[in-house]
Homo-oligomer: A and B are copies of this chain.
Amino acid sequence: MAVGSESKSKPIKRIVILGGGFGGVYTAQHLGKLLRGRSDVEICIVNDENYFVFQPMLAEVVSGNIGILDTVTPIGRIAPQANVYVRSIEHIDLAEQTVILSPGLAKHAAKLKYDHLVVALGNVTDFHKSPGLHAHALPFKNLADALRLRDRAIRVLGDARIEPDEMRRREMLTFVIGGGGFSGVEVAAELNDFIRRTAHKYFHIDPSEPRIILVHSHERILDREMPESLALYAQKVMRKQGVEFIFNRHVVSATPGFTLLDDGTRIVSRTLVSTVPSSPNPLVTDLGLKSDHGRLVTDGQLLVEGCSNVWSLGDCAAVPKSGGGGTCPPTAQFAVRQAKTLAHNIVAAIDGGKQQTFKFAELGKLAALGRRRAVGQLFNKINIHGFTAWVFWRAVYWAKLPGLDRKLRVAGSWLLEFMLPPDLVQTGVDRRRGLTEEFHEAGGCVFKQGDFGNRCYIIATGKAEIVHHDADGEERVVAQLGPTDCFGASEVLQDTAYPASVRCIEATKLLVVPKEDFLKFAEALPSLADRFNAINQKMEAAAAEYSANSATA
By a beta-carbon cutoff of 8 Å, the part of chain A in contact with chain B is 1, 3-4, 6-7, 49-51, 67-69, 72-74, 76-77, 80, 83-86, 90-91, 100, 102-109, 143-144, 154-156, 158-159, 161-164, 168, 172, 202-203, 256, 270, 404-405, 408-409, 412, 416, 419-421, 423-429, 432-435, 437, 447-448, 450-454, 458-460, 483-484, 486, 495, 497, 511, 514, 516-517, 520-521, 523-528, 531
Q: Is B429's CB under 8 angstroms from A161's CB?
A: no
Which of B105, B162, B424, B523 makes the CB contact (< 8 A) with A159?
A: B105
Q: Is A172's CB under 8 angstroms from B105's CB?
A: yes
Q: Is B105's CB under 8 angstroms from A156's CB?
A: yes
CB distance from A230 to the nearest CB of B (A): 35
Q: Is A50's CB under 8 angstroms from B426's CB?
A: yes
Which of B143, B423, B452, B525 makes the CB contact (< 8 A) with A109?
A: B452
CB distance from A4 to the nearest CB of B (A): 6
Q: Is A451's CB under 8 angstroms from B108's CB?
A: yes
Q: Is B168's CB under 8 angstroms from A106's CB?
A: yes
Which of B69, B172, B497 makes the CB contact (< 8 A) with A423?
A: B69
Which of B4, B103, B452, B521 makes the CB contact (< 8 A) with A162?
A: B4
Assuming the contacts A50-B158, A162-B4, A517-B434, asked whether A426 and B86 have C-beta atoms less than 8 A apart, the reply is: yes
Q: Is B105's CB under 8 angstroms from A425's CB?
A: no
Contacts of A448 in B (CB 8 A): 108
The binding surface of chain A is classed by DSSP as: mixed
Q: Is A161's CB under 8 angstroms from B3's CB?
A: no
- Copies, count: 2
Q: Is B3's CB under 8 angstroms from A435's CB?
A: no
Contacts of A109 in B (CB 8 A): 451-452, 497
A-B contact pairs, 26 of them (CB 8 A): A3-B162, A4-B162, A49-B426, A50-B154, A50-B158, A50-B424, A50-B426, A69-B427, A74-B423, A83-B162, A90-B452, A107-B256, A107-B447, A109-B497, A143-B428, A405-B416, A412-B412, A428-B429, A434-B516, A435-B516, A437-B520, A458-B524, A486-B525, A511-B524, A525-B528, A525-B531
Q: Give Cα distance in the complex from A193 to B435, angstroms.
A: 38
Q: Is B409's CB under 8 angstroms from A3's CB?
A: no
Q: Give Cα distance in the complex from A378 to B83, angstroms.
A: 49
Q: Give Cα distance in the complex from A109 to B453, angstroms.
A: 8
CB distance from A493 to the nearest CB of B (A): 13
Contacts of A69 in B (CB 8 A): 67-68, 423, 425, 427
Contacts of A421 in B (CB 8 A): 77, 405
Contacts of A483 in B (CB 8 A): 524
CB distance from A483 to the nearest CB of B (A): 8
Contacts of A405 in B (CB 8 A): 416, 420-421, 423
CB distance from A326 to the nearest CB of B (A): 37
Contacts of A76 in B (CB 8 A): 158, 202-203, 424
Q: Give Cα distance in the complex from A514 to B405, angstroms.
A: 37
CB distance from A158 to the nearest CB of B (A): 6
Contacts of A4 in B (CB 8 A): 162, 164
Q: Is A521's CB under 8 angstroms from B511's CB?
A: yes
Q: Which 7 A-B pairs have the closest CB atoms?
A: A434-B434, A109-B452, A7-B164, A74-B424, A433-B434, A108-B451, A405-B420
Q: Give Cα distance in the complex from A6 to B409, angstroms.
A: 47
Most buried by B among A74, A495, A526: A74
Contacts of A435 in B (CB 8 A): 434, 516-517, 520-521
Q: Is B106's CB under 8 angstroms from A158's CB?
A: no
Q: Is A484's CB under 8 angstroms from B49's CB?
A: no
Q: Give Cα distance in the complex from A205 to B343, angstroms.
A: 27
CB distance from A47 to the nearest CB of B (A): 11
CB distance from A438 to the nearest CB of B (A): 11
Contacts of A159 in B (CB 8 A): 86, 104-106
CB distance from A481 to the nearest CB of B (A): 13
Q: CB-nearest residue of chain B relative to A426?
A: B50
Assuming the contacts A73-B425, A426-B49, A428-B144, asked whether A452 and B83 have C-beta atoms less than 8 A apart, the reply is: no
Q: Give Cα distance in the complex from A47 to B201, angstroms.
A: 21
Q: Is B270's CB under 8 angstroms from A105's CB?
A: yes
Contacts of A6 in B (CB 8 A): 164
Contacts of A521 in B (CB 8 A): 435, 511
Contacts of A528 in B (CB 8 A): 525, 528
Q: Give Cα distance in the complex from A164 to B9, angstroms.
A: 12
Q: Give Cα distance in the complex from A315 to B476, angstroms.
A: 51
Contacts of A84 in B (CB 8 A): 158, 161-162
Q: Is A103's CB under 8 angstroms from B452's CB?
A: yes
Q: A434-B434, A458-B525, A525-B531 are in contact. List 6 more A-B contacts (CB 8 A).
A: A4-B162, A77-B424, A84-B158, A103-B451, A105-B270, A108-B452
Which of B162, B425, B497 makes the CB contact (< 8 A) with A74?
A: B425
